[in-house]
Amino acid sequence: MKSKINGVPVPTLKRLPLYLKIVKRMKSEGKAFVSCTDIAQECGSDAIQVRKDIASTGVVGQARVGFNVSQLIDTVENFLGWRNKNEAFLVGVGNLGTALLKYRQFKENGLNIVAAFETDNSKVGKKVDGVKVFNLTKLENLAERMHVQIGIIAVPGEYAQEIADRMIQGGIKALWVFSPVVLKVPDDVVVEYVLLSASLGVLTSKLNNQ
């Protein structure tokens, strides 16, 4: 329940986007079929693991040939929910928020940030990379009216819980959290944290013990 989504391990979910990226590049290079061995080579991983991961998306390959590149891309994208053009709100147009608004990669991942919110009035009314910045007071109302499902939280830690509460109030069902805090949310709300300190901890531990 906790560690598997749809019967698929979370580690697998985390590797799929990388495979997708590799296969997309191969497609752009004109390749029609790709084997797990090919993918494994590109991502410095193991062919057996790649095969297992890809198998969990349900795509069917051909022995001795591999997978149809276009079909593989379609299936993986669908599996990740990247075909749904997920619309998102972002709260906190600081340095990180701005960086996220300008991050082109998201368009490849089916994420469409449709509005941003701030308390700082000097930012309200402006546009960042084509996305309009609203006053935070509009959050719940707009979320409800636009049926937005994803909320991106890029505010200082002390405000994150309040923003989360208000997003949920507005009907948002998934939170992508860049603030270094643990949030309390209802069971039906999905939360995913991007904790830079966790990643940095792995790096510095390795560095200091090798």
Site for a copy of itself, rule CB under 8 A:
5-6, 8, 10, 13-18, 21, 42-44, 79-82, 84, 86, 94-96, 98-99, 102-103, 105-106, 108-111, 149-150, 173-174, 176, 180, 182, 184, 188, 190, 192-210
Closest-CA residue to 156 (of 113, 95, 88): 95
CB of 206 to a copy of itself, least distance (A): 4
CB of 181 to DNA, least distance (A): 20
CB 15 within 8 A of CB 32: no
Closest-CA residue to 23 (of 8, 40, 9): 40
Smaller CB distance to a copy of itself: residue 14 or 147? 14
- In the numeric block, the tokens 């509009």 are attached to 138
Closest-CA residue to 189 (of 172, 205, 177): 172
Could you tell me how far CA 141 lies from the centroid of its own chain?
Answer: 24
- Between CA 8 and CA 57 the distance in angstroms is 9
Integer-rounded Cα radius of gyration of the chain:
19
What does 182 interact with, of DNA, a copy of itself, none (CB < 5 to 8 A by kind)? Answer: a copy of itself
CB of 112 to DNA, least distance (A): 30
CB of 89 to DNA, least distance (A): 31
Interface with DNA (CB under 7 A): 2-4, 9-12, 35-37, 46-49, 51-52, 54-55, 59-67
